[in-house]
Amino acid sequence: MNGRNAGNTELKQNLQAQLLSSGVGAAREKAIQRALNNVNKPGFKLEPSAILPLMKPVTWFPPMWAFACGVVSTGEDIASNWSILLRGVILAGPLMCAMSQTMNDYFDREVDAINEPDRPIPAGKISKQASWIITFTLIMTGFLVAWSIHPYVMAIAFVGVLMSHAYSGPPIRAKRNGWFGNLIVGLAYEGVAWLTGSFAITQGVPSSESIALAIIFSIGAHGIMTLNDFKSVVGDNIRKVASIPVQLGEKKAAILASVIMDIAQLVAIGILLAKSAYLMSGIAILLLAFQLPMQKTLIDNPKEKAVWYNAFGTLLYVLSMMVCAIGIRP
């Protein structure tokens, strides 16, 4: 046995021991080992049916919604600007967000092999070379759509690509630390998308209230991203990715996520009150109140309830975004 083979055998044995100590069963461990063999396999492979799962459509909603909030916050007539709204929503979700997901899957393929071995690259349905072609196609298409809205929007899209690479790829790879990585995603998915929506309609500097809400809800999205990291704790521990649940433990991470989201909404409600938008303030307060008992359930059992809260509790948070966007309309 040569040195390289001996080293690979030792790595596999160490990984097997780590998986078993994390409570991973034998069948799952075999699937992970198979996925790890797939992620760096040479050659080109592209199963068309795997392209959409690689782009993760379930993640498109937040930036699409934030773009729509930015549009609504301007007070402009949506019916007369429907083309910009449609192109902007497509840009924010099926193009730029999908691009960030395919890029992340490339750089995260070895972590995904442990956390989600059924993802397209670990499953061997899409090679890493093919995933880059998909990413590049999405980038170029996104630039064309962004240019059709306004040249400045294409510049913003370019910044979005840089943010995606800073989050997922070397040398920064901000996702290695949940404090920074989650903030970048929150800013990209919520803040940049919101302000792009506002600019696309008015082609001018957004209002101070709109800028403030975009920043506030971006910071609050840090909590949403923390909850999203609960599903990856095993792989993050093994691959030394310092997500918030890994750093603080699951219970403290759940508390932190809830507090950040609540504070963001309270500050946003303060802006509505300052604008004398009392009806929208009341609705936002009710949405926050409904989240509190759900957060208690999350904190009591974070490992089991993180996915549940991300589906239902987060929905109330994003509804509050639109309520606030309506409340600051001129």
In this predicted model, what pLDDT tens digit does every residue of 209-249 receive, in sequence order? Answer: 999 999 999 999 999 999 989 988 887 888 788 999 999 99
pLDDT at 90 over 70: yes
Structure tokens given for 168: 């997922």
**Is residue 27 located within the same domain as residue 65?**
no
**Is residue 79 located within the same domain as residue 226?**
yes
User: What band does 30 get if pLDDT is binned at 50, 70 and 90?
Assistant: confident
**Is residue 30 located within the same domain as residue 101?**
no
pLDDT at 16 over 70: no
**Domain for residue 19, yes or no?**
yes
pLDDT at 2 over 50: no
User: What band does 319 get if pLDDT is binned at 50, 70 and 90?
Assistant: very high
**Is residue 241 located within the same domain as residue 95?**
yes
> Residues 87-107: what's their mean pLDDT?
96
Q: How far apart are CA 223 and CA 41, in angstroms?
A: 36
Q: How far apart are CA 252 and CA 243, in angstroms?
A: 12
* Host domain of residue 9: 1-37
Q: What is the pLDDT of residue 10?
A: 46
**Is residue 86 located within the same domain as residue 162?**
yes
In this predicted model, what pLDDT tens digit does every residue of 48-71 receive, in sequence order? Answer: 999 999 999 989 999 999 999 999
Q: What is the pLDDT of residue 3?
A: 39
In this predicted model, what pLDDT tens digit does every residue of 266-297 receive, in sequence order? Answer: 999 999 999 999 999 999 999 999 999 999 99
pLDDT at 202 over 50: yes
**Higher-scoring residue by pLDDT: 97, 33:** 97
**Is residue 225 located within the same domain as residue 111?**
yes
In this predicted model, what pLDDT tens digit does every residue of 176-196 receive, in sequence order? Answer: 999 999 999 999 999 999 999
Q: How far apart are CA 241 and CA 276, in angstroms?
A: 45
**Is residue 200 located within the same domain as residue 298?**
yes
Q: What is the pLDDT of residue 236?
A: 85
CB 223 within 8 A of CB 316: no
pLDDT at 318 over 50: yes
> Residues 309-326: what's their mean pLDDT?
94
Q: What is the pLDDT of residue 266?
A: 98
Q: What is the pLDDT of residue 232?
A: 84
Q: What is the pLDDT of residue 18?
A: 67
**Domain for residue 299, yes or no?**
yes
Q: What is the pLDDT of residue 4?
A: 40
277: number of Cβ within 10 Å = 21
**Domain for residue 56, yes or no?**
no
pLDDT at 107 over 60: yes
**Is residue 178 located within the same domain as residue 217?**
yes
pLDDT at 12 over 70: no
Q: How far apart are CA 80 and CA 274, in angstroms?
A: 30
In this predicted model, what pLDDT tens digit does every residue of 114-142 receive, in sequence order? Answer: 888 999 999 999 999 999 999 999 999 99
Model pTM score: 0.90
CB 38 within 8 A of CB 50: no
**Is residue 282 located within the same domain as residue 242?**
yes
Number of domains in the chain: 2
140: number of Cβ within 10 Å = 11
SS (H, E, C) the chain: CCHHHHHHHHHHHHHHHHHHHCCCCHHHHHHHHHHHHHHCCCCCCECHHHHHHHHCHHHCHHHHHHHHHHHHHCCCCCHHHHHHHHHHHHHHHHHHHHHHHHHHHHHCHHHHHHHCCCCCCCCCCECHHHHHHHHHHHHHHHHHHHHHHCHHHHHHHHHHHHHHHHHHCCCCCHHHEHHHHHHHHHHHHHHHHHHHHHHHHHCCCCCHHHHHHHHHHHHHHHHHHHHHHHHHHHHHHHHCCECHHHHHCHHHHHHHHHHHHHHHHHHHHHHHHHCCCHHHHHHHHHHHHHHHHHHHHHHHCHHHHHHHHHHHHHHHHHHHHHHHHHHCCC
**Domain for residue 151, yes or no?**
yes
The amino acid at residue 196 is T
**Is residue 3 located within the same domain as residue 67?**
no
